[in-house]
Amino acid sequence: MSATPSPFAPKSFPDLPVIDGVRIGSIAAGVKYQNRPDLFMAEMADGTAVAGVLTKSLTRSSAVEWCAKVIKHGTGRAMLVNAGNANAFTGKAGMEGTEHMAAAAAAAVGCKKKEVLVASTGVIGMRLPADRISVAVPALHAGLKPESWEAAARAIMTTDTFPKGAGAECEIDGIPVKIAGIAKGSGMIAPDMATMLSFVFTDANIPSDVLQQLLTKGADKSFNSITVDGDTSTSDTLLLAATGKAGNKAPKKASDKSLADFKEALDKVLTDLAHQVVKDGEGASKFVTIDITGAASDKAARRIGLSIANSPLVKTAIAGEDANWGRIVMAVGKAGEKADRDRLTVSMGGVLIVEKGEGVQGYDEAPVTKHLKGREIDIAVDIGIGKGKARVWTCDLTHAYIDINADYRS
């Protein structure tokens, strides 16, 4: 964990709802860190539907490959997650370590290994001390409780400076439904979904195929729209578990009108968690919202937005509170999407600064500079050629990012 707290760190962890059919907890297993919890476990009721969105990295970890198989079956009974060691790029030993974790959790819960979802986060290329995890699991399982959200969120932290949680309550056909989730992520954050680790739970009764569609769309609007440093992790995992304990009638398809309130609540939770990841970006001091309109398509708008969001020159200018709009124009041009220089408009903090291919005549930089001194920065770009739009979020790039990553393994 980073020593310097993020300026966006909340005063307290949110009060998350208890999810019927879910028990959670954490323990210090000594995977890497000493004297702090580094192992998270969740036990879900029998018949719990699961869905997931996983990294597309071609060097993804064995835990991600394991999760893909479990998700395909559609049901799960447990999750087991360690921090401090990514168990990635460790050859045959990687899958052996993942199976070891699944077996330990399955034995504790009394289920099959294929019903256990596994995730690991931390240093890449180091063999996982799976024996330490298996020794810790029985005591971890014995201490699981329905309300241990903050402890669970802390256990999966690496360079994070605060635990991340979000919850919501809604209805499906008049039946009360609850949602709660936790996430970790601070660096190696770029959307290629998912981005980081996040585990979300609901008591809604939703079949796995419908749950998967809802999660995929929700991830696209949240976790796939954030970036801290442009790097996609080998371990990125987003999981959603629905216990069915709320008792609502199961919807047959994602477009079912009864799911309208649930969709909104789920998207709210996912977006909240995604924002917290960006706000805890390694060394971040600014939270940046970038709105792109007028692009050739929504996909093109996102690519342009991410080109701006990932630009080191844009991010360092924001860190230095420098209203250097030329860097934004540069990032639009390099995105590889259709753009017309003479139709482009750029605004910062609601102030129009670029129009029709050049800087606005008589533009007063003072209000923009004042805006950049704040914590939350708004950039808007209209491409002027179509109806495509997108919103992405990022943070600034400070010297603290170098400090954190220069000695990450120490």
Binding residues: 158, 184, 195, 282, 405, 410
Q: What span, in angstroms and rounded, lies between the C-alpha atoms of 251 and 244?
A: 12
Element (H, E) at 299: helix 298-309
In the numeric block, the tokens 């606005």 are attached to: 360
Query: Per residue in 54-81, is it b (16+ CB within 10 Å) or e — as a string?
Result: bbebeebbbbbebbeebbeeebbbbbbb
6: Cβ contacts below 8 Å, ≥ 6 apart? 161, 162, 279, 280, 281, 284
Quick one: tokens of 50? 């699961």
d(CA 177, CA 18): 11
CA atoms within 13 A on the CB side of 379: 35
Q: Is the dihedral of CA 234, 235, 236, 241 positive or negative?
A: positive
Tell me whether strands 351-355 and 345-348 are parallel, antiparallel or unpaired.
Answer: antiparallel
Instruction: Find residue 291's DSSP bridge partners.
Output: 380, 391
Closest of 121, 103, 111 to residue 40, by C-alpha:
121
Closest CA to 93 of 101, 104, 105: 101
**Phi and psi at residue 188, to the nearest 5°:** 55, 50
Q: Which residues are catalytic?
A: 195
Query: Alpha-carbon distance 150 to 281, whole Å?
Result: 19
Classify residue 258 by its DSSP letter.
Answer: G
Report H helices in 110-232: 130-142, 149-155, 208-221
14-32: b (≥16 Cβ within 10 Å) or e: bebbbbbbbbbbbbbbbbb
| Interior angle at CA 83, CA 138 and CA 116, nearest 5 | 50
Known binding-site residues for substrate equal 158, 184, 195, 282, 405, 410
Q: Would you state the structure tokens that stand for residue 221, as one six-digit string?
A: 């609007």
